[in-house]
Amino acid sequence: MLGTRLVFGLSMVAGLVLALNLDEQLAPYYPCWFVLSTIALLVAARELSNLLAETPAAPSANTVVGGVLALVIANWAPHMVYGKPRSLDLSALDYDPFAPLSALAWPFLTFTAIILTGFVVQGLQFDRPGRTMAKIAGTLLAVAYLGVLAAFTIQTRWFAGPRQGLLALVFLFSTAKGADTGAYAIGRLIGKHKLWPALSPSKTIEGALGGLVFGILAALIVVAVSRFWMRAPTLSVTAAVIYGAIVSTAAQLGDLMESMIKRDCLRKDASSSVPGFGGVLDVIDSILFAGPIAFLLWIAIGP
């Protein structure tokens, strides 16, 4: 199981880095990133809808999928409307480090429209009291959990500067997946003390500490590759350690929160579509939580 997880995990990271590199000459459109984001989030939307289907908050699966798709498209919309090739000069007079925050207005306005639409749809389908509010709550929770949280990771691709969007995503995925792998490996090898048994009986304190160390090491490895191979501006060693510690902690919290969802739904995995991991939702759960933290950290301490 550990070997399968390592091999498949490394393959996914390598495939992602390759796709992001292929996209680099197609700024600001990034078709590979669009396809990967769309497929991952739509599959995860189906998985989450199926998980919640037997609970009182059973969502409208079609609304969840449609809402998540709308949010993915909304993340590209400002760059399609106002898009232009990014300046490679960080000192350019028109450079605005907070521009990525402005782009987030599009998906958040879209989510507002999804809320309004969700109420109207359930109003049209209303047949008897006692179910509608729970269905609306479950639907909007699923759309927000996948579509809104993922918006920060998606928007990271447009950070300005030489390969900064690419580097920011590689930092995020490497740190989060490093934390996942470290927590799983160390927990399996020497884990004894339960971390949060009410949510996940298999996770241990030793595993969490291993995930923290692996996450920091992954961030430092990306610093070395960026600095000595890509010759690109990157985080300092101190900033990378801070980044690795915070993002790996957020990633492990994301894993625990998805464990809470599965435990509440009496399921071990979201599905069996990804060998060694479970479902797509089990792969991206750490990214969903770590993405907003990494986004804001990059604005605060990024190169």
Q: Name the nearest CA neighbour of 99 among 159, 152, 169.
A: 159
pLDDT at 86: 45
* Low-confidence winner among 2-6, 35-39, 56-60, 274-278 (lowest mean pLDDT): 2-6
Q: Name the nearest CA neighbour of 61 among 134, 143, 145, 120.
A: 143
Q: Beta-carbon neighbour count of residue 242 at 10 Å? A: 17
Taking the mean position of all CA atoms in its chain, how far away is CA 177? 11
Amino acid occupying residue 134 = A
d(CA 20, CA 33): 7
At 87, the pLDDT band (50, 70, 90 cuts) reads: very low
d(CA 43, CA 45): 5
Mean pLDDT of 142-165: 90
Sequence ranges of the domains in the chain:
2-84+92-301
- What is the per-residue pLDDT across 26-49, written as a single tens digit (0 to 9) for each? 888 999 999 999 999 999 999 999
Query: What is the model's pTM?
Result: 0.89
pLDDT at 168: 93
pLDDT at 39: 96
Instruction: Tell whether the model's pLDDT for residue 66 goes beyond 70.
Output: yes
At 195, the pLDDT band (50, 70, 90 cuts) reads: very high
Select the highest-mean-pLDDT range: 153-162, 184-193, 289-298: 289-298
- What is the per-residue pLDDT across 117-134, written as a single tens digit (0 to 9) for each? 999 988 988 888 878 899
Instruction: Tell whether the model's pLDDT for residue 85 goes beyond 50.
Output: no
- What phi and psi, each to the nearest 5 degrees, are found at residue 184? -70, -45
pLDDT at 157: 92
What does the mean pLDDT of the chain come to?
88
